[in-house]
Structure 1
Amino acid sequence: MVNPLAIDVRGLSKSYDDRKVVDQVDIQVAQGSICGFLGPNGSGKTTTIRMLCGLLTPDAGSGTCLGLDIFKDAAQIKRQVGYMTQKFGLYDDLSIRQNLDFIARLFELPQRKEAVDACLERLGLTARQSQLAGSLSGGWKQRLALAACLIHQPRLLLLDEPTAGVDPRARREFWDQIHDLAAQGITVLVSTHYMDEAERCHELVYIAYGKILARGTEAQIIADSGLKVWTLQSQGRGQGLAALLTPLKSSPGVLSVAAFGNAVHVAGLDENLVLAALDKVRNDKLTITPSSANLEDVFISMIATAPDNFTLDKIRTQVKS
């Protein structure tokens, strides 16, 4: 049985000063799944998330969030969604408990003390409940922010780059919590720049310059990209590879050139063009082998071929005038 859609929006658009920040975006996310929302800075991720949770009104589009109309039922959607912003948004001069009690008051929760107690226990915050939020490390602030998102028992979590600035251990613990929540039927849409986090999502949506460029599972996106990748390795722990990066990046047909430890990945869609570029840098100390694309190869290549919405909007303005 296919899970019903927690998010089902089509043609979502938003402009600021005649610049399209989100342009005809379609997103469908099944209930209880974790959807990774990826894209470069300024791609429209945060604007899309804010439209989904009722904080922004779309200029165009239609659809539902948790079965509620994104235009008519924005107020009801807000009460059933937990939204975690990029920047820590709670009060530094209040304790963990006081912050959660304040959020519980905003949602007018009955039996407020019991709700705060349960939330503290759920996120492992009970022992620190009297500590001021401003004195917490990045990982504990993140945990408090997630607790604040969950205290009203939302059906959908919208997380906007929630692990930025936290250490690897805190990131892993956070993702374990997210998977536990999804197993309980809570839907999660999470934006991230980390490829290892993207790999932990059930499905992915990639947005650039306001438009969706790819969607599906990690395996589907890599397979559908049609990307051809070669790995370059040099004798002497990668010495000499740095000098090849600039000429390869400027070669016709090469969409992505990225260093990975002591190796370099070179990717493109046209095999002949990429091989021609590689022929120009071949030497007896360089090993060149075909390899498989990873998500980073795919997404960097997509950016290379995606039209910049700032440039497109500038052209539109010039045409109109």
Structure 2
Amino acid sequence: MLKRIAVLTSGGDAPGMNAAIRAVVRSGIYYNLEVFGVYRGYAGLIQGDITPLNEGAVGDIIHRGGTFLYSARCPEFLEEAGQRKAVTELRKHQIDGLVVIGGDGTFRGAQRLTDLGFPTIGIPGTIDNDIPGTDFTIGFDTAINTVIEAIDRIRDTASSHERTYVVEVMGRDAGDIALWSGLADGAESILIPEVSFRMEEMIARLKRGYERGKKHSIILVAEGVGRGMEIGDRIKEETGFETRVTVLGHVQRGGKPTALDRVLASRMGAKAVELLIAGEHDKMVAIRNNELIGIDFDQAFEQDHQPDLSMYELAGILSI
């Protein structure tokens, strides 16, 4: 019988993780469970850095970015010996189930724990929105709103000085941040890892805009495509346009979560507890068509994340 559960965050932080932790803790208490927090992810789990959490421990955190449980890398957990240490610590604290919040790497670790006989449920928390099987991940909406706000400010300067701006955003393997932000902010070109592009075509688009009287342009680049500085240098060399480059970097991970991320995180946190109570494990909470479901980790691992390419085509149509 499920009596005690624990929650941890792992991998890169994402706005809304605190809201998810809060939902796990308070939902667990509502269902008469004892809830524990694991500090510093899998590293803390191996070290036994596990603390009871009550309602007050998660008060006043729903609006805060980052994760108050912290996150850390843990090479030791990649090995079976480290995974067995983690299970030993969970058993020592008489914990019956674990909720992990993070991305692909976090879920693979969770699956290893399940393979060793420990029930685990995952909640997708990553700004990249690159977890297959779910429409959205916690933190994505906040990240794109951060990017949009930055582009709005950059556009003011681009317009005032008649410049071309290249804005590099996060997305090593996934282009959702660039795609959604670029469409929302009317970028002239959006470069994402999932779609090949020709520099010559982008240059031609910029020149056509200039010839019809356009005085400034925004080029949005996902980091997985290439370095913004190199692309900016090439644009300046080919066109002669005054070109500037902004790399937004880790500013995209921080900040207060949006209402959408707070609500999504709260719903997913409660759903994770419900799945554990129902005896489910080796699953991830997903949202599809605004419905929360549990899907096997294998479904997420076996698929490749794909952005909505109809949005990419629409962005091209609207930026003529």
Q: Which has the higher contact order (CA 8 A, sep 6+)?
A: 2
- The TM-score normalised by the length of structure 1 is 0.28
